[in-house]
Amino acid sequence: MIKKLLAIACGALMATSNPAYGDDHTTGIAGEQWTFRKGMRFGYSYANNADESERLASPHMFAMGFELQQTMSGGDWLDILFIQNAVVTGLEQSVVIPTANALVGFEVNHAFQVGVGVNVSAYDSSGNDNYIHLVSALGWTQEAGVFSVPIHFVYIPDVNGYYRFAVTTGVNW
């Protein structure tokens, strides 16, 4: 088995190390430009029915985290948007509830953003092992010199009625 894996790895290495002289075309969109933003986030989170949980005293929680955004310029008013973030909630109740999100969407006129993706949480309020959910978000990012200030509204549905809603803001650089 190891010999087969080594043979495949050597073949792949040889294939990538030899130039393709006859192939002079490029792939992708002409003039493709990526912009990258990152920044801290903080805000409010509401977890419906979370007060029924043993760990939480209230469904209202403070949220804080860090976000990465990548946009591919469409050349005019529409850009493709990728967002990844990690958020911690529940700290004001002495509880740590980490979540991570990955979204894909679009940005209109470098300001209005819409995205949908996957949410993963280490804590399930329903107790039914539902740790992965859909996440949808929309927001506005206002330029502020070398920084930008986003305001995002997030909705995470749940099949058992334990949906979550959040409003966050922060600073990008």
Question: Domain span at residue 118?
Answer: 32-172
Angle, CA 47 vertex, CA 45 and CA 52 arms, to 5°: 140
Summary mean pLDDT of the chain: 86
Token pair 């995470």: residue: 156
Residue 21 belongs to a domain: no
User: Which residues have CB under 8 Å from 35's CB, separation 6+?
Assistant: 70, 71, 73
Separation between Cα atoms, residue 60 and residue 47, nearest integer Å: 7
Reported as a single tens digit per residue, the pLDDT across 113-164 is 999 999 999 988 778 888 999 999 999 999 999 999 999 999 999 998 999 9
Least confident window among 8-17, 61-70, 137-146: 8-17
pLDDT bin (cut points 50, 70, 90) of residue 2 is very low
Question: In 3-state terms, what secondary structure has residue 161?
Answer: coil
Residue 103 belongs to a domain: yes
Residue 23 belongs to a domain: no
Please report, as a single letter, which amino acid is at residue 158: D
Q: What is the structure's pLDDT at 124?
A: 85
